[in-house]
Structure 1
């Protein structure tokens, strides 16, 4: 299997990070956490959700945790609010005491954790009684058009690419598994909601260039191809993507969000 890379913040931003800011806003509008609370952003990546919390929620503090030093470096550069801090950490073993935060959230990261059940149990452990535990993940199987077009074209040219398709690899990214995961962690009042954002590309190069950055499954697969096969994939995508007369490519991205509360 082609190795995945999640280390270079700027390349990730060009790929899907730019769209994560839009979905973060919808997510926070749904949560409606009161002002002055303590937040933990698990799998914070380049800091998109942390920045959104600071911008719209008036928190007392936000701590971002991520296993990637490269992503953390980008987050520290981009999020300079004194209420924010970032540290390295594993979602399956959070370096915090019980009941330390009022809201624990994860944006577009839970499906990459090898044991998501253990991670959600940790989310709940560090959340104070009556606090909110919530996350959202891309709907890779059906709702994430950016990668759906990519993997459908890649698999047409190379059937072995089917094994790398996030839609197949991440069955967690659907409403029912998320509901079960939250309920299994003992969380109450569990809800799941779809969050849909437009992802409009200025032209084909705007769509294709991020796949050359090597960050994530699809770009890592692209990087593994010899030049002739990469060119064939590019040209097939060019014929398949919905393109307007001005050259723009209007797509959408859907995420599934889940929330619950701790007992207390």
Structure 2
């Protein structure tokens, strides 16, 4: 956002000190990074021209509390926006992963983000923005090609323990992880040289605070 929109000042917030430290090290001039909770923003009423939540809203409970804070801190006529992954149908990699996991372990179905995050759909996002009193509400898709050089390039991030799918894998025995890995490998569409080309879709929602 800093590079594309060139705002005079950016306040970036994350409640993880580790993530905030990484962002602080990479920040450009005019960008300030603080550790805080999105449901209690350290910003006075109406101080911002725009407030944006990136790939976070579905992890906040209740999400309406975070949206209310975004509305509180934006000026009259200002923009309130968010984007979240389309877990229901637009995340090819996760759909294939959870399909493979459920084949190997039916209990894994309860952890699938498609079930856990019903918010990540156009109608639910639009309703949340409208209920927050925002006007000119619109929802649009963002599609991102996700290309992996080979299966190892795709699989290794699942072993980090970060996120629902890697966290699930971390609870499995080595043998069970291998079963999920083999099922996923068999389900993937592979191109020349073993490359894997998939698509990731996010839904972006935006609205304006009344003047």
Check whether TM > 0.5.
Answer: yes
Q: 2:26 aligns with which of 56, 73, 78?
A: 78
Aligned to 1:143: 90
Larger radius of gyration: 2
After TM superposition, the structure 1 = structure 2 runs for residues 27-66 of structure 1, keeping only pairs within 5 Å, are 53-66=1-14
Structure 1 segments, 4+ long, off by >6 Å, are: none
Aligned to 1:219: 166
Question: What SS does structure 1 have at the residue aligned with 2:128?
Answer: helix
Aligned to 1:161: 108
In the alignment, is residue 187 of structure 1 matched against residue 100 of structure 2?
no
In 2, distance between residues paired with 1:119 and 1:85? 20
In 1, distance between residues paired with 2:180 and 2:104? 7
In 1, distance between residues paired with 2:43 and 2:192? 53
In 2, distance between residues paired with 1:258 and 1:224? 35
In 1, distance between residues paired with 2:183 and 2:102? 11
Question: What SS does structure 1 have at the residue aligned with 2:101?
Answer: helix
Aligned to 1:243: 190
In 1, distance between residues paired with 2:201 and 2:110? 22
In 1, distance between residues paired with 2:22 and 2:162? 14
Deviation sequence 1:70-124 (CA, Å, 0-9, x none): 1111111222x12101111111111111001000001111000011011101100
Q: 1:175 aligns with which of 116, 119, 122?
A: 122
TM-score w.r.t. the length of structure 2 is 0.98
Question: What SS does structure 1 have at the residue aligned with 2:145?
Answer: strand
TM-score w.r.t. the length of structure 1 is 0.79
Question: What SS does structure 2 have at the residue aligned with 1:246?
Answer: helix
In 1, distance between residues paired with 2:97 and 2:26? 29
Question: What SS does structure 2 have at the residue aligned with 1:91?
Answer: coil
Deviation sequence 1:154-198 (CA, Å, 0-9, x none): 011111111110010000000001001000100000000011010
Query: Deviation of residue 245 (structure 1)?
Result: 2.5
RMSD value, Cα: 0.7
Aligned to 2:57: 110
| Number of positions where the alignment pairs a residue of Structure 1 with one of Structure 2 | 211
Aligned to 1:209: 156
In 2, distance between residues paired with 1:102 and 1:191? 18
Q: Which runs of 5+ in 1 are unaligned?
A: 1-52
